[in-house]
Chain A
Amino acid sequence: MIGLRMPIASGLFAAATLLVGLHGAQAQNQITIGAVVPSSGPFAEWGRANTVTLKMLEKQVNDAGGINGAKLKLVILDDGAKPAQAANALRKLAGDDKVLAVAGPLTSSACEVTFPVANQMEVVTTSQASSKPGVAKANRPWAFRNTIDEGILAKTSVPYFKKTFGVKSVAVIYDAKDAVSTSIATKIMPAVFKADGIAVSNENDLISFNTGDLDVSAQVTKLKSLNPDGVVIGADYSQAITVIREMKRQGLVKPVIGGTPLISSAILKAAPEIPVIAPATFYATMKGPKAEKFVAELWPLLKKESGLPPEIEPSMYDANIYEIVSMYIDAVKKTGITGKPDQLAAERVKLRDYMAKLKGYEGLGGSIHFSEDGDAIKSFFIVQGEKGAWSTKVTACSTEGGC
């Protein structure tokens, strides 16, 4: 239904601006920021929730009088989680819509092809979710990610996992079709576990399945036969749900550990008696004044959205994209970006330098800055999902010496 509502709304908006123009009023300065989110396809829910988040932010900023008197305009494009569409969406935003900077795309595959375009067109592009190692690093200086490299996160999550569950051996199962999952499960986790003195039972025969598999019973039977104390799942949450449900069905009730792709409210319902350990930078029930305010504002809007299921919650990626655009707005305020078309190229450089030199920006869960690789240095939590809820067990920072 919003398919019909939105064009009408934007049409009215366009008509309104046109009228203002006709009345001869001085054309107000405008800051245009773009976003690429997957509102169709397999990650539609995330993209649609991201869209609601961004529209909320846009309204908040403009209701409060805009940025330095200029109006904020967000142009949000859907990439269907398809890399080619993401790259073209960035070309449209940077070339046609003349945006100052872009938030997105969500998947690492899309980032891989979109970040080179960001460098080519010289526009800051910051992903809200990609955590595949090295994607921003390969595309300096215009690519950023408001996420933490999975390799850093595992160094905190694994010791907690070991201590809490007295784990002496783990077995690995992963989604071989997905790049992030593969790197978490085949490279990052086994190395960290071994360094911590924990045996990986199937080190030479990691068990895999493919995205879209409906049946993982054979894999789980094999997992069970290894009799591990804990299970490493390298998969995004929707595939991990299939694995955890099968574990429950086969009576393999052992704690699970994975990377950030596991974080979601849906995974908590898969098997409440199986504890899930994962790193997160945000989750809907987290504490802290900024985060709680964000959740309180966003949640009702998400529930109202017709393209989203009723049990939707604000996600980590909503928080990340909110932070990204807030950072851009902060840059505009602090560096005196005007949004004038003739200064676009220079102001894009200003914004890039602001992002690179960012110090102590207050995000929803603590301060944020970026490493030389373009990845966020921010605090994160090791959270434990059990009996239907996440709770923070460890708070840490993605760099030595605190955030």
Chain B
Amino acid sequence: MSTYYAGLFADVGILLLGALSVYIILATGQLSLGNAGFMGVGAYLASYLTVELHWPVTPALIAAAVAAAAIGVIVGFPALRLKGIYLAMATLGFGEMVRSFFLVFEPTGGSGGYRGMPHVSLGYIWLWAGGILVLVLVLERSRLWLEMRAIHDDETAAGLIGLNTTATKIGAFGFGAAVAAICGGLFAHHYVYIEPGNFGFERSIDFVLAVILGGSTVGAGALIGALLLVLLPEWLRFLVDWRLAAFGVLLILVLLTRRQGILDRALIARLTFRRRAAA
């Protein structure tokens, strides 16, 4: 594999984690437009630990994930009061606040950015991205996931049949925040430089986009979405000045033709059935 594609696949791995962080929260029917905020917390915290305190990368990532999970739970509680698009807008506000915070927070360089992190390899990024993807796929087969989907489909009914909707929703926020933080930590140690502008609304939207394009009902959809979002702009380079407009057109076309995302259960079933038939 060329270094170029290695670089792109590192981006795919990082975006996959961001997308999964949205996917986990979305599974309980909550849309977060502020996961770049959690990503920023993870990126800055993990970097601070490796640069200032000389921690190895892995414990720094885990510490960042735990801290972000705590913040996720704290954000999750008030979020219980809000539903749907109102929750989305509150998380959007949270993300913008985190970004504004790091812009003025001098210990990590403010707008000047932060550097000095050790570089991590593509393999290391995918160890995390692949590991968490498998974890989510396993989780999808669990009873807990059924409960999450039940809350997604009808929260009132889920509560009536005795499911602890509060714990599940807050847990999802915490887990999602932790995954976003790992995404941020890996981002920081891949690019070895971070600045607050990396963690704005555009990034949060990219995560959501990857989930929705790839397929929001199956975990593997996030992978397809991440691949598409990273590779498409590169493949459209031949359009020169119209590259981004073409990307916008394709985005709309995909949403119009496959509103459930590229990957869904029906497609997976068909693909696996065919493979079995062929064998």
Q: Identify the A interface with B (CB < 8 A).
A: 2-3, 6-7, 39-41, 44, 48, 77-78, 80, 83-85, 87-88, 91-92, 94-96, 109, 112-113, 116-117, 120-121, 132, 138, 176-179, 182-183, 307
> Are A40 and B111 in touch, CB under 8 angstroms?
no
Q: How far is the CA of A132 from the CA of B198 in the complex (A)?
A: 17
- Chain A residue nearest to B109 (CB atoms) is A179
Q: How far is the CA of A116 from the CA of B240 in the complex (A)?
A: 26
Q: Identify the B interface with A (CB < 8 A).
A: 2-4, 6-8, 11, 103-104, 110-113, 115, 119, 191-193, 195-198, 233-234, 237-244
Q: How far is the CA of A310 from the CA of B82 in the complex (A)?
A: 51
Contact of A84 among B11, B113, B239, B243 (CB under 8 A): B11
A97: min CB distance to chain B, Å = 9
Q: How far is the CA of A40 from the CA of B234 in the complex (A)?
A: 13
A67: min CB distance to chain B, Å = 26
> Are A179 and B119 in touch, CB under 8 angstroms?
no
- Chain A residues in 8 Å Cβ range of B104: 176
Q: How far is the CA of A41 from the CA of B247 in the complex (A)?
A: 13
> Are B103 and A177 in touch, CB under 8 angstroms?
yes
B114: min CB distance to chain A, Å = 10
> Are B191 and A84 in touch, CB under 8 angstroms?
yes
- Chain A residues in 8 Å Cβ range of B8: 88
- Chain A residues in 8 Å Cβ range of B11: 84, 88
- Chain A residues in 8 Å Cβ range of B112: 132, 179, 182-183
> Are B197 and A109 in touch, CB under 8 angstroms?
yes
Task: Give 7 A-B pairs besides A92-B4, A116-B119, A120-B119 with Cβ atoms closer than 8 angstroms.
Answer: A6-B240, A44-B241, A80-B244, A94-B3, A96-B2, A177-B103, A179-B112
Q: How far is the CA of A215 from the CA of B112 in the complex (A)?
A: 24
> Are A96 and B4 in touch, CB under 8 angstroms?
yes
- Chain B residues in 8 Å Cβ range of A85: 233
Q: How far is the CA of A77 from the CA of B238 in the complex (A)?
A: 10
> Are A77 and B195 in touch, CB under 8 angstroms?
no
- Chain A residues in 8 Å Cβ range of B237: 77-78
Q: Which of B119, B193, B234, B237 has the most CB of A within 10 A?
A: B193
Interface of chain A, main secondary structure: helix
Q: How far is the CA of A400 from the CA of B216 in the complex (A)?
A: 62
- Chain A residue nearest to B112 (CB atoms) is A179
> Are B243 and A78 in touch, CB under 8 angstroms?
yes
> Are A88 and B234 in touch, CB under 8 angstroms?
yes
Contact of B244 among A40, A177, A183 (CB under 8 A): A40
Q: How far is the CA of A349 from the CA of B105 in the complex (A)?
A: 40
- Subset of 28 A-B contacts with CB under 8 Å: A39-B241, A40-B241, A40-B244, A78-B237, A83-B191, A87-B7, A88-B4, A88-B11, A88-B234, A91-B4, A91-B7, A92-B2, A92-B4, A95-B3, A96-B3, A109-B195, A113-B191, A113-B192, A116-B191, A117-B7, A132-B112, A176-B103, A176-B104, A176-B110, A176-B111, A179-B195, A182-B111, A307-B241
> Are A88 and B7 in touch, CB under 8 angstroms?
yes
Q: Which of A44, A113, A307 has the most CB of B within 10 A?
A: A113
Q: How far is the CA of A48 from the CA of B238 in the complex (A)?
A: 15
- Chain A residues in 8 Å Cβ range of B241: 2-3, 39-40, 44, 48, 307
> Are B113 and A112 in touch, CB under 8 angstroms?
yes
A123: min CB distance to chain B, Å = 11
B14: min CB distance to chain A, Å = 9
- Chain B residue nearest to A117 (CB atoms) is B7
A59: min CB distance to chain B, Å = 18
A236: min CB distance to chain B, Å = 13
Q: How far is the CA of A95 from the CA of B8 in the complex (A)?
A: 13
- List 10 tightest A-B contacts by C-beta distance, closest first: A95-B3, A92-B4, A112-B193, A91-B7, A3-B240, A91-B4, A113-B191, A3-B242, A182-B111, A88-B7
- Chain B residue nearest to A211 (CB atoms) is B197
- Chain A residues in 8 Å Cβ range of B196: 177
- Chain A residues in 8 Å Cβ range of B193: 83, 112-113, 116
